[in-house]
Amino acid sequence: MMSFKNYLILVCVITVVVVATASDNEDFYKLLNVARDATSKEIRQAFKKLAVKLHPDKNKDDKDAETKFIRITKAYEILKEPESRKKYDLYGDTGEDKKHNYHSYTYYRDVFGIYDDDPLITTLSRADYELSIIDSSQAWFVNFYSPHCHHCHELAPTWRKLARNLEGVVRIAAVNCEEDWMICHELSIDSYPTLLFYEKAARLFDGQFYNGKRTLEDLEDFVISKLTADVVPIQDEIWDSDEFKKQPWLLLLCPPNNPNCPERNSQIKLATSLEGLMSVGLIKDKELSKKFTSDYIKNPIVFWQLTEFSEIHIVGGSDFKEIVENVLSLLPDLQHLNDEAFSDARTRLRLGSDKPWLICFYMGTATQLNLHLKRLPAVLPHMNLGMIHCGKNADLCSSLHVNHYPAWGVLKSGGAFELHHGQNGFHEIVTFAKDSSKSTNLHALSPADFYTIVKDGSGAWFIDWYAPWCPPCKRLMPEIRKASQHFSPENVKFGTIDCTLHTNLCSREGVMSYPTTTWHNGSKVHHFRGVLNERGIIEFVEDMLNPKVIELDSSTFGRLETKPENEMWLVDYYAPWCNPCQMLAPELRKLAKQIADIDYIKIAQVDCDANPELCSAQNVRAYPTIRLYPLGSKGMNTVAIYNSHRDAMSMKSWLTGFLPSTVEKLDAKSFKKKILWKSYVLPWLIDFYAPWCHHCIHFEPNFIATALALEGVVKSGKVDCETERVLCRELKVTSYPTVILYLSPNERVFIDSQDKSKIISLVKEHIKKGKQYVKDEL
């Protein structure tokens, strides 16, 4: 094996200082002849093709050869990395001078991208590595290599044969550690080649190192030993049960001494390939084998097909792949659609007279694709399934922005169409189909759509600005689909905009990164800040639909200027473009929701971009500026400035210090004297807390407000259990906050709520019961 250190020493490259020669408007995608949503593999393949054609070593008579080669090298190096590609998509080429490395002609011809041209080997990068290997439908076997490693080149032919032998069984992949050294470093890959095996649904660091011989037979035996699919032994009495006959089976008729029976490895490959489609059974009983075919020695494989009447098919094949293909040929094909059929289906869906469609866009055929297609009817019974050949329907595929194969899309009820941008594993496709078909409130938007329905004030919209190649965008899309299902289109609609297709629109709308999510309601735009998952999006949308934060402008600012003494206002003066303001916004909404029960506290915002004169008059010089106008003062006569951490908890703790309180702080001595050692007319309501407890800080203003509401009904107090640990232990208070109602020194009731109105209701109820008990006693 070649060590990482030796690899660095052996690498010999030509370093060239590049002066920006490309024109400002040169398009790197056109330079490499790839689409703007091209995958990393497509970009590498395009670059290799051009590198071999345009390399200076091959074009010595062309004085501009080096300049041309530097241009394509620069384009490749920018587009191959997600971060630099994102910046290029948003801002174009900045024209900065930069050192670029390029290699000899033979390197690009013989070494660069060893596996890029092999369709059965998936070349993974740092951007998609984790997304790929977390696959619940298949295991992965990954080869980490260096293009300069002699042993890696020796392994390459074997690795290609392994991919052909295991097609449809496991995914065979490769990682170029010269191109993607960060993922190799993260996984502690320090020699080449290194082989890692990932079982189904594995996590990033679950890979198992292969340390055996690198022969085809040894590698294949290792993979087979890791597979978990069952070949089910079947006996005569078992087969007679209805449970077995009510499912499709591939049956291997293998009584002793049958020379034509598939070997054990082939049996396991068949069971793994067909998992989820049919079971594979092994019959060793001679008489039971004869029930399926008398010529079981010559034809040892039969397919028990479950139709209206069970059918038995003889299945031929010299190896497992041929057997699988022959079995698949016996299953019904998906419907093939052309331009006209697609248009008719869309019309029916707009009229509500058809089921949604899952459509596979393809070129050519492949075993892996056929396996997916044949499995789908069983798991998606409530959807139409179709195929569109993009070689025969090029205009249709182009209009739907399909430019890689296979691609999957859903035609939804109502006529909306959505392409799948995630992984092409079976589980991912099924999940996409189910979520997308339900997500009729999610629309792919063009620039014309955006300006017509969003800018012209057609209700509220939640918009996701994305790039199909962007890994975080791929993770977010399923979350948006699920979130969109929680809202009626009458209240809010959801849209997606592909920034690789609509670059100018994204630039005009100030999209600075992928994904960017925004809320539009007429001229009002709010940037989403929070957790980018289903729950986080739902909470954000609910906040936007039912805002707890008051929006003040020049026409409504009088509410604050005429504030009565019995109100407290916390006001955020902000600018929409200010990043700290954007970070503050979700925390402010969270704070407003937490204190919504305290009706005399108002949380408000002023957009200083939209109201510059107002903010100038208030001497606002920086964003965000947070000011508190407390109780006891009219209008804006008294103000306090907040300058601490801008999270909901910190702001709430600070705000609580301005609340008038009837809550008495008690230590152990005063608690015993006032509550445990003497009788009292008014019961006591006590909050037991700890100063480090976040729930306690969250609860404190609610308890203060509750105490004010119950003034004259109970006396209120609080005990710091960090300071008074012995007392709290004696009272058996073990969690915080704990609220206890003391009706008398010997009678206490635990109040199991932190909601103001609920506490008030429970306290009054228990006091009433206590009085009734005393009355009955008398």
| pLDDT of the residue at 403 | 77
The Cα 611–Cα 203 span in angstroms is 50
Question: Do residues 221 and 239 share a domain?
Answer: no
499 as an active site residue: the answer is: no
Residue at 44 is within a domain: yes
pLDDT at 3 over 60: no
| pLDDT of the residue at 582 | 84
CB-based contact 100:73 (threshold 8 Å): yes
Burial class (CB in 10 A: 0-12, 13-18, 19+), 242: exposed
Question: Do residues 217 and 238 share a domain?
Answer: no
Q: Give the orientation angle of helix 694-709 with respect to helix 756-777, to 10 degrees.
A: 60
Last residue of a domain, one of 329, 360, 386: 329
* Number of other residues whose CB lies within 10 A of the CB of residue 670: 13
Amino acid at 696: C
Question: Do residues 102 and 125 share a domain?
Answer: no
The Cα 244–Cα 110 span in angstroms is 54
Q: Identify the CA nearest to 501 among candidates 91, 80, 89.
A: 89
Tokens encoding 34: 């790839």
CB-based contact 714:646 (threshold 8 Å): no
Residue at 243 is within a domain: yes
Tell the residue number behind the tokens 């003034």, with chain if given: 711
pLDDT at 463 over 50: yes
Beta bridge partners of 551: 605
**111 contact partners, CB below 8 Å, separation of at least 6:** 103, 147, 148, 153
* Number of other residues whose CB lies within 10 A of the CB of residue 208: 14
Tokens encoding 30: 């056109």
pLDDT 10s digits, 481-516 = 999 999 998 899 999 999 988 888 998 888 888 899
CB-based contact 200:171 (threshold 8 Å): no
Tokens encoding 160: 């290609």
CA distances from 398 to 166, 198, 394, 534 (A): 33, 36, 6, 31
The bridge status of strand 625-629 relative to strand 640-642 is: antiparallel
Q: How confident is the model at residue 189 (pLDDT cuts 50, 70, 90)?
A: very high
| pLDDT of the residue at 320 | 87
Question: Do residues 700 and 715 share a domain?
Answer: yes
Whether the ω angle into residue 406 lies within 30 degrees of 0, i.e. cis, is yes
The Cα 660–Cα 78 span in angstroms is 60
Residue at 129 is within a domain: yes
Tokens encoding 25: 């408007």
Radius of gyration of the chain (CA): 34
pLDDT 10s digits, 703-741 = 988 998 898 999 999 999 999 999 999 999 999 999 999
Tell the residue number behind the tokens 């076997």, with chain if given: 141
Residue at 719 is within a domain: yes
| pLDDT of the residue at 773 | 45
Question: Do residues 66 and 166 share a domain?
Answer: no
3-state secondary structure of 386: strand
Number of domains in the chain: 7
Question: Average pLDDT, stretch 2-19?
Answer: 39
Question: Do residues 639 and 733 share a domain?
Answer: no
Q: Catalytic residue, from 177, 499, 581, 721: name it.
A: 581
Q: How confident is the model at residue 561 (pLDDT cuts 50, 70, 90)?
A: very high
Q: How confident is the model at residue 97 (pLDDT cuts 50, 70, 90)?
A: low
Q: Identify the CA nearest to 122 among candidates 160, 148, 76, 157.
A: 160
Host domain of residue 215:
121-226
CB-based contact 689:754 (threshold 8 Å): no
| pLDDT of the residue at 651 | 92
pLDDT 10s digits, 435-460 = 899 899 998 888 888 888 776 767 89
Question: Do residues 247 and 268 share a domain?
Answer: yes
| pLDDT of the residue at 771 | 59
**27 contact partners, CB below 8 Å, separation of at least 6:** none
Helix ranges (DSSP H) in 332-425: 339-350, 367-379, 394-399
Tell the residue number behind the tokens 């949604």, with chain if given: 356
Q: How confident is the model at residue 15 (pLDDT cuts 50, 70, 90)?
A: very low
Burial class (CB in 10 A: 0-12, 13-18, 19+), 60: exposed
| pLDDT of the residue at 386 | 93
pLDDT at 2 over 60: no
**706 contact partners, CB below 8 Å, separation of at least 6:** 685, 716, 756, 759, 760
pLDDT > 70 fraction of the chain, expressed in percent and rounded? 93
Tell the residue number behind the tokens 């955020």, with chain if given: 572
| pLDDT of the residue at 776 | 41
Sign (positive or negative) of CA dihedral 695, 697, 701, 707: positive
pLDDT at 7 over 60: no
Indicate the average pLDDT of the chain. 86
* CATH assignment of the domain containing 107: 1.10.287.110
The Cα 506–Cα 513 span in angstroms is 10
pLDDT at 144 over 90: yes
| pLDDT of the residue at 25 | 57
pLDDT 10s digits, 512-537 = 888 999 999 877 788 887 778 898 89
Which has more confidence, 628 or 15?
628
pLDDT 10s digits, 204-252 = 899 999 999 999 999 999 999 999 889 999 988 888 777 777 788 999 9
Helix ranges (DSSP H) in 546-689: 558-561, 579-594, 612-617, 648-656, 668-671
Residue at 181 is within a domain: yes
Residue at 509 is within a domain: yes
Last residue of a domain, one of 414, 440, 466: 440
pLDDT 10s digits, 291-346 = 889 888 999 999 988 766 678 899 998 888 889 888 888 888 888 999 999 999 99
**309 contact partners, CB below 8 Å, separation of at least 6:** none
Q: Identify the CA nearest to 478 among candidates 51, 148, 131, 14.
A: 131
Question: Do residues 631 and 675 share a domain?
Answer: no
Last residue of a domain, one of 440, 462, 491: 440
Question: Do residues 101 and 128 share a domain?
Answer: no
Tell the residue number behind the tokens 């999610």, with chain if given: 442
Question: Do residues 452 and 509 share a domain?
Answer: yes
* CATH assignment of the domain containing 470: 3.40.30.10
| pLDDT of the residue at 16 | 38
Question: Average pLDDT, stretch 47-71?
Answer: 88
* Number of other residues whose CB lies within 10 A of the CB of residue 753: 12
Question: Do residues 532 and 503 share a domain?
Answer: yes
Which has more confidence, 435 or 8?
435
Q: Identify the CA nearest to 40 among candidates 48, 718, 754, 136.
A: 48
3-state secondary structure of 328: helix
Residue at 116 is within a domain: no
3-state secondary structure of 679: coil
The Cα 586–Cα 725 span in angstroms is 36
Q: Write the DSSP symbol of residue 58.
A: T
pLDDT 10s digits, 266-294 = 999 999 988 878 899 999 999 899 988 98
Question: Do residues 214 and 258 share a domain?
Answer: no
Highest mean pLDDT among 236-240, 750-754, 770-774: 750-754
Residue at 306 is within a domain: yes
608 as an active site residue: the answer is: no
CB-based contact 32:78 (threshold 8 Å): no
Whether the ω angle into residue 381 lies within 30 degrees of 0, i.e. cis, is no
Which has more confidence, 469 or 266?
266
| pLDDT of the residue at 6 | 45
